[in-house]
Amino acid sequence: MGPVSGLVLYLVLWFMTFLVALPIRIKTQGEAGTTVPGTHHGSPEIHHLRKKAWITTGVAFVLWAIIAAIILTGTITVRDLDWFERMSPSSS
């Protein structure tokens, strides 16, 4: 795995983790009772974005380290995922 593919893997993991973390612990304007005119009652009042971004960074790094170690050590290869035996036989 090269540096660019490692960075792409990290960014994909970061955004997936961030999208999972976004709806956690949101307090809506309807729950707070302070709905701004022109907005929906479900709009976030308190969202904790900075905290979620830092937590996401840590979680994504741990996931990235695990997946990168698996890829770099060869524990799981593409041939291991060939369930329908469509790849040619290994040359080694």
CA angle centred on 20, ends 15 and 24, rounded to 5°:
130
50 SS3 class: helix
What is the model's pTM? 0.78
Q: Is the pLDDT of residue 7 over 80?
A: yes
Give the pLDDT band of residue 92 (cuts 50, 70, 90).
Answer: low
Res 36: pLDDT: 87
H or E stretch at 46: strand 44-46
Give the pLDDT band of residue 6 (cuts 50, 70, 90).
Answer: very high
For 43-61, the pLDDT digits (tens) are 888 889 999 999 999 999 9
Q: Is the pLDDT of residue 84 over 90?
A: no
